[in-house]
Amino acid sequence: MQAKELRGQSVAENIAEEVKKHVAEMKQKGLQPTLSMIRVGDRIEDMAYERSAQRRMELCGICAQSEVLKSDVTTEQLIRVIKQNNEAKNVNGILLFQPLPAHIDMEAVKEAIDPVKDVDCNNPLSSARMYLDDEEALIPATPGAVMEILKHYDIALEGTNVAVLGRSMIVGKPLAMMLLNQNATVTMCHSKTKNLAKICQEADVIVSCIGKPKFITEEYVTPESVVIDVGINLDKNNKLCGDVDYARVAPVVRAITPVPGGVGSVTTSVLAQNLLKAFHMQNR
């Protein structure tokens, strides 16, 4: 039985279409939703994500501006730039590429981002709002993308068992909370979990965000499994791959997201959604 491939592209396009419609209305009122991207140095990964975010924002009618700082920028200088963006009336969201160089005080920098403009959910207060199920919470893009994929492909969550593999503050924990809010029964698994294969087999949906290339094999799944692969890793041949061994798992499950072309391709649309939400919170 061939699994249904849950591709991200149509999910991303649907979200973008919706955002675009709302942005067009704002523009008619003379308003221009704007994202400010801050990049430190010239990391290839940052530049690739910057281009991809830029393209998505443009498609949605959102203005995306880039500020590039030298990689020897100090924490104080970086915070000053963030604060300028906090105060700028024409900036609705701030996207700071990460990881930052080792000499930067990450925590201080994250806390400097005004929660009302924190479209990438970096400030701990933003995570906290999500945990508290605050309607003003801006959700982190990656778990947001997972939820959008599940919704788009009509994968029911209420009363189902979902195994979340990985407990990071940026993906695993917020995702568990979001799934719980949708009435799923959530099992939070991690590196200390015993019998992981058994827990995964008993789950209706498996979401892996552990960052281990091709870790999930056919022993972890059943023909009924829905597998969402959040991992973005390099395999032995330096080829992009997920946490799931796609070639072995895809043929034997109900549905699966590919890597690339799955969760990762939806994140910039969730970012655009967040930007629009931030814009509305700032303009009411």
Q: If we measure between CA atoms, which residue out of 89, 86, 151 comes closest to residue 119?
A: 86
CB 269 within 8 Å of CB 19: yes
Provide the 3-class DSSP secondary structure of residue 31: coil
Applying CB under 8 A, the span of 52-60, 73-81, 177-185, 241-249 interacting with a second copy comes to 177-185
- Residue 189 found at the interface with a second copy (CB under 8 A): yes
What is the edge-to-edge ordering of all strands in the sheet holding 34-40?
Answer: 63-69, 34-40, 93-96
Q: Which of 29, 192, 239, 284 binds a second copy (CB under 8 A)?
A: 192
Applying CB under 8 A, the span of 36-44, 140-148, 185-193, 232-240 interacting with a second copy comes to 185-193
Distance from C-alpha of 11 to C-alpha of 274, rounded to nearest angstrom? 16
What is the rounded radius of gyration, in angstroms, for the C-alpha atoms of the chain?
19
Respond yes or no on whether the N-terminal peptide bond of residue 260 is cis (omega within 30° of 0): yes
- Residue 251 found at the interface with a second copy (CB under 8 A): no
Q: Which of 48, 108, 169, 197 binds a second copy (CB under 8 A)?
A: 169
Instruction: Evaluate the CA torsion angle 70, 76, 79, 80 in order and state its sign.
Output: negative
Q: Which of 39, 117, 129, 277 binds a second copy (CB under 8 A)?
A: 129
Q: Which of 127, 208, 225, 273 binds a second copy (CB under 8 A)?
A: 127
Q: Which of 54, 71, 77, 193 binds a second copy (CB under 8 A)?
A: 193
Cα dist. 82→53, 95, 116, 117, 201 in Å? 19, 10, 13, 10, 45
Q: Which is nearer to a second copy, 21 or 198 (CB)?
A: 198
- Residue 108 found at the interface with a second copy (CB under 8 A): no
Q: Which is nearer to a second copy, 194 or 239 (CB)?
A: 194
- Residue 158 found at the interface with a second copy (CB under 8 A): yes
The CB-of-166 to a second copy minimum distance in angstroms stands at 11
- Residue 156 found at the interface with a second copy (CB under 8 A): no
Residues contacting a second copy: total by CB under 8 A: 30
CB 150 within 8 Å of CB 125: no
The CB-of-87 to a second copy minimum distance in angstroms stands at 24
Distance from C-alpha of 248 to C-alpha of 240, rounded to nearest angstrom? 16
- Residue 240 found at the interface with a second copy (CB under 8 A): no
Provide the 3-class DSSP secondary structure of residue 13: helix
HSE of 44, CA atoms in CB hemisphere, 13 A: 0
CB 267 within 8 Å of CB 11: no
Applying CB under 8 A, the span of 43-51, 125-133, 216-224, 235-243 interacting with a second copy comes to 125-133
Applying CB under 8 A, the span of 3-11, 176-184, 211-219, 237-245 interacting with a second copy comes to 176-184
- Residue 176 found at the interface with a second copy (CB under 8 A): yes
CB 118 within 8 Å of CB 94: yes
Chain residues binding a second copy by CB under 8 A are 124-125, 127-129, 131-132, 134, 158-161, 167, 169, 173, 176-177, 180, 183, 185-190, 192-195, 199
